Amino acid sequence: MSQVRTAPSLTHEAADRALVALACRVMAAAGLFDMHGHISLRDGDVAYINGRRSSRISVTPAQVAVVNIADGAVVSGEPPAETPLHLGCYRAHPEIRSVAHFHPLAATAFATVGKPLITAFNAGAPFGKVVPVYDDPDLVRNDSQGSAMAKDLGKHRAVLLRGHGVAVVADDVPSCVTLSLYLEENAKRLAYAMTIGDPQPYTEDEIKRVAASLWQPFVIEKTWIDAQERARRAGALDDLA
Ligand SMILES: [Zn+2]
């Protein structure tokens, strides 16, 4: 289902690099990535991740770094300092195939003030009743921090990092981008609603029903295609083959 904008003749590694570069630009064009922010893809024993120096809006496939998941050894390129955040998720949860870390304004604000990011809008349904919080504001730069954060993430699809940002996990890149958009949209709507009243948290049954309608391949594909198209129209994909 993933709409990979790569030619069929590309090698496997080239396709992975192209997909990570594309997703990074899409996240930047959507306003989710600032000069920081990274998205990764697991393929076998390694993770592909946008390089630390490159601008998120113009990262090229060649600037995507490759890291060994088991020991963190760099296979190529210059991975970001917080790569252990990604590796912690991959090591703890074999089903995770894509991780995004960024510092979105609204979602981060909830962990900053200690208010729970609950589900009171449809966009929150894929995250369950509340998004868990990792309570350490320090950057996730080593293996013990990465595994502590992955522990707080548990089986959830996202975790808030107090005073810092968020981590989002999924079983593929399009789902990871879609969840990242949903997470921030839910936080924005919730923050707005809280200025005029008390949001009504969804019940378990409401979450289940809404998630069943909203979190399905067709919707994920539609969101991923739309996010790419917005990035393309903004000129962010012009030099990406
Ligand atoms: Zn960070």
pLDDT in tens, 27-79: 999 999 999 999 999 999 999 999 999 999 999 999 999 999 999 999 999 99
Question: Binning pLDDT at 50, 70 and 90, where does residue 9 land?
Answer: low
Question: Binning pLDDT at 50, 70 and 90, where does residue 11 land?
Answer: confident
Residue with tokens 């975790």: 159
Reply yes or no on whether the pLDDT at 116 is more than 80: yes
Reply yes or no on whether the pLDDT at 210 is more than 70: yes
In a domain, 43, yes or no: yes
pLDDT in tens, 61-71: 999 999 999 99
- CA of 234 from ligand 1 middle (Å) equals 25
Beta strand pairing call for 64-68 and 46-50: antiparallel
Reply yes or no on whether the pLDDT at 5 is more than 70: no
In a domain, 92, yes or no: yes
pLDDT at 10: 67
pLDDT at 165: 97
Catalytic residues: 82
CATH (domain of 206): 3.40.225.10
| 19-24 mean pLDDT | 98
Reply yes or no on whether the pLDDT at 241 is more than 80: no
Using CA atoms, how far apart are residues 167 and 185, in angstroms rounded to an integer? 15
- CA of 155 from ligand 1 middle (Å) equals 21
Residue with tokens 């009243």: 197
In a domain, 2, yes or no: no
In a domain, 1, yes or no: no
Using CA atoms, how far apart are residues 130 and 137, in angstroms rounded to an integer? 19
In a domain, 27, yes or no: yes
Whole-number mean pLDDT of the chain? 95
Question: Binning pLDDT at 50, 70 and 90, where does residue 2 land?
Answer: very low
pLDDT at 6: 47
pLDDT in tens, 215-235: 999 999 999 999 999 999 999
- CA of 35 from ligand 1 middle (Å) equals 11
In a domain, 78, yes or no: yes
- CA of 37 from ligand 1 middle (Å) equals 7
In a domain, 22, yes or no: yes
Q: Count structural domains, the chain.
A: 1
In a domain, 176, yes or no: yes
Reply yes or no on whether the pLDDT at 1 is more than 50: no
Q: What is the DSSP code string of 169-181?
A: EESSHHHHHHHHH
Q: Are 109 and 49 in contact (CB under 8 A)?
A: no
Can you give the residue range of the structural domain that contains 23?
Answer: 12-233
Question: Binning pLDDT at 50, 70 and 90, where does residue 23 land?
Answer: very high
